[in-house]
Amino acid sequence: MTNRVSADARVAEARNDLVPGPVTLMNSFTVPHGRDEEFHAMWDRTSRYFIAQPGFVSLRLHRALSPRATHRWVNVASWDSEADYRAAHSTEEFRRIVTQPGWEEFPSSPVLYEVVTSVG
């Protein structure tokens, strides 16, 4: 049995104020053992929506070396601003995509960050 995952659970928590500069989303996915290919195909289709949105800068999808990692897959995505991130995550299209059957099997923990130090 799997729980339903609402579209709201796919959006990082907000503060009162919006960060005007660049923000980085880290979205950590729980993927059951042996389901990597299924997750990856689903994520790949879904990512096309985000890549086409205003303010999208880049993404790197990471897979853990260890099969025992709590978060087997992590997407790190940069956006021009928090407003851009939130706009992309509040459309009807977004809601439709992330509530598609299948996604409920891969819960995620989306959290927004600012880059404080950058080397190399």
Binding site for a second copy (CB under 8 A): 12-15, 19, 23-24, 26, 40, 44, 47, 51, 56-66, 68-71, 73-74, 76, 78, 82, 111-120
Torsions phi, psi of 41, nearest 5?
-65, -40
Find the shortest distance in angstroms from Cβ 115 to a second copy.
Answer: 5
Cβ 1 to a second copy shortest distance, Å: 26
What letter does residue 33 receive in the DSSP assignment? T
Query: 3 or 118: whose CB is closer to a second copy?
Result: 118
- How far apart are CB 61 and a second copy at their closest, in Å? 4
Q: What angle do CA 115, 69, 50 make, to 5 degrees?
A: 50
Please compute, for residue 66, the number of CA atoms within 13 A of its CA located in the half-sphere on the CB side: 4
**Residue closer to a second copy (CB basis): 17 or 92:** 17
Q: At its nearest, how many Å lie between a second copy and the CB of residue 110?
A: 11
**What is the number of other CB atoms lying within 10 angstroms of the CB of residue 16?**
4
- Return the ∠ at Cα 32 (arms to 69 and 110), rounded to 5°: 65
